[in-house]
Amino acid sequence: MSANSASPFRSIVSGSIGNLVEWYDWYAYSAFALYFAPVFFPKASPTAQLLNTAAIFAVGFLMRPLGAGFLGNYADKHGRRAALLLSVQLMAGGSLLIACAPGYATIGLGAPALLLLARLLQGISVGGEYGTSATYLSEMAGERHRGFWSSFQYLTLMGGQLLALIVQLTLQQFITPAEMTAWGWRIPFVIGAGAAIGALYLRSHMSETAAFEQEKAAKGASERPARLSAVQQLRAYPRETLTVVGLTLGGTLAFYTFTTYAQKFLVNTSGFTKEQATLISFGAMAVALLFQPLLGAISDVVGRRPVLLFFGIGATLGTVPLLRTLAHTTSAWGAFGLLIAALFVVSGYTSISAIVKAELFPTHIRALGVGLPFALTAALFGGTAEYLALLAKDQGVAEYFYWYVTGCAFISLLVYWRMGETRARGHM
């Protein structure tokens, strides 16, 4: 489908909905881990069960660089639309496999092995999804409002997590905790597989971006160094690649700390019930959705760098006192307010993450340049956030993790301080 066959607005909406479904499937694993952990790892303490499921969550992250390299190359060679179609097919397969996987009591070690395989497929999918969807949304958006429209990537990313919590809250109202552990946790993965098929239909009707089509017309496919590896291609852009790493480091760790791990923190550390933790997380994420387009639009006026500095300073100074306070909070409203404050600061990164990275690279390597260094950094720091936090908690040194998040945020702050403004001087 050519760039002229559908309106940019319609394509942005279709791409955003597909992105929401992808991330719903990814986050459903974390949202329901509290329930299915005993099914796959029965002979362990509750914390050890969560550690096992968090380890598989982290392994899924380790596949994200592979997906980013493969699908990023694919998107830069064959088009953004083609790569987004392939990404959602892989996600559908992973979700369906989790939904159907027998438990440990049925097939023994084969059960966690199937769970691992499903997360590997989803890791490849979501690794390619980030860079390609960031590129697609930024190229489809008009120049004056590129920050606003690109913020829809994290809006739908967080919306996917919120949708997973909505499904969890709904199931908690209609089935008992015992039923949820026995079979109810499979329902969200069935929903995810079906929704992915719907997203596949929407993406099949998306337009290709004009930037890609113009690049393809200006440079014939035969002229491109298609046989170069992803690493070899990125060597031509060392400063931009390292900037993506620095941009991502503190942001991805803070994001996963206050989203996927926060729900477990509220149960394991603050002492809330699973149902209370789900409701608090749900409310905070719902409010945080509004921060994305707001800060994205602000970046279109004041620039990207001031918004990034807001996150870097806030996360560096606020992480330790906020987590210390949250650990001793017994009020649901208090916990809700603290998470909203944390997510508002984190939105200084998430709202413009896609556009800043896309503006660093020219069209012919944009999807790869955005996706691969991000995926590597997210795998090393975002993907291990839950595991390291739970491990520190298990060893009785929970505050070590608080300072770890602070240190990574400070490193990113130094990058934001030294980097140039991309809104006016970028490649787009």
Q: How confident is the model at residue 5 (pLDDT cuts 50, 70, 90)?
A: very low
More confident residue, 379 or 8: 379
Q: What integer best gives the mean pLDDT of the chain?
A: 84
Angle at CA 365, nearest 5°, toward 129 and 245? 65
Of 165, 40, 55, residue with least CA distance to 115: 40
Residue 137 and residue 15 in contact, taking contact as beta carbons nearer than 8 Å:
yes
Compute the average pLDDT of residues 263-279: 88
Q: How confident is the model at residue 198 (pLDDT cuts 50, 70, 90)?
A: confident
Q: What is the pLDDT of residue 421?
A: 76
Q: What is the pLDDT of residue 220?
A: 60
Q: What is the pLDDT of residue 219?
A: 66
Compute the average pLDDT of residues 22-51: 77
Of 35, 415, 13, residue with least CA distance to 187: 35
Q: How confident is the model at residue 423 (pLDDT cuts 50, 70, 90)?
A: low
Distances (CA, A) of 351 to 75, 103, 119, 209, 285: 23, 39, 26, 22, 14
Q: From the centroid of its chain, how far is CA 31?
A: 14
How many angstroms separate the CA atoms of 221 and 204, rounded?
23
Q: What is the pLDDT of residue 2?
A: 43
Residue 366 and residue 135 in contact, taking contact as beta carbons nearer than 8 Å:
yes
Q: How confident is the model at residue 428 (pLDDT cuts 50, 70, 90)?
A: low
Q: Which two tokens mark 385?
A: 């956030």
Task: Tell me, letter by letter, the H, E, C secondary structure of the chain.
Answer: CCCCCCCHHHHHHHHHHHHHHHHHHHHHHHHHHHHHHHHHCCCCCHHHHHHHHHHHHHHHHHCHHHHHHHHHHHHHHHCHHHHHHHHHHHHHHHHHHHHHCCCHHHHCCHHHHHHHHHHHHHHHHHHHHHHHHHHHHHHHCCHHHHHHHHCHHHHHHHHHHHHHHHHHHHHHHHCCHHHHHHCHHHHHHHHHHHHHHHHHHHHHCCCCCHHHHHHHHHCCHHHCCCCCCHHHHHCCCHHHHHHHHHHHHHHHHHHHHHCHHHHHHHHHCCCCCHHHHHHHHHHHHHHHHHHHHHHHHHHHHHCHHHHHHHHHHHHHHHHHHHHHHHHCCCCHHHHHHHHHHHHHHHHHHHCCHHHHHHHHCCHHHHHHHHHHHHHHHHHHHHCCHHHHHHHHHHCCCHHHHHHHHHHHHHHHHHHHHHCCCHHHHCCC
Please tell me which of 75-79, 308-312, 391-395 the model is most confident about, judged by mean pLDDT: 308-312
Residue 412 and residue 319 in contact, taking contact as beta carbons nearer than 8 Å:
no
Choosing among 1.20.1250.20, 3.10.20.30, 1.10.760.10, 2.30.30.90, the CATH entry for 8-218+230-425 is 1.20.1250.20
Query: Which of 13-22, 116-125, 173-182, 274-283 is predicted with the least confidence, judged by mean pLDDT?
Result: 13-22
Q: What is the pLDDT of residue 362?
A: 84
Q: How confident is the model at residue 1 (pLDDT cuts 50, 70, 90)?
A: very low
pLDDT in tens, 350-370: 999 888 888 888 878 888 888
pLDDT in tens, 103-160: 888 888 788 888 888 888 888 888 888 888 888 887 777 677 788 888 888 888 888 8
Compute the average pLDDT of residues 35-48: 74
Q: What pTM did the predictor assign?
A: 0.80
Predicted confidence (pLDDT) at residue 391 exceeds the cutoff of 80: yes
Q: What is the pLDDT of residue 344?
A: 97
Q: What is the pLDDT of residue 347?
A: 96
Tokens 């059960």 map to which residue? Answer: 111
Predicted confidence (pLDDT) at residue 42 exceeds the cutoff of 80: no
pLDDT in tens, 210-255: 777 777 777 664 454 455 666 777 788 888 899 999 999 999 999 9
The 10 Å Cβ neighbour count of residue 199 is 27
Q: What is the pLDDT of residue 69?
A: 87
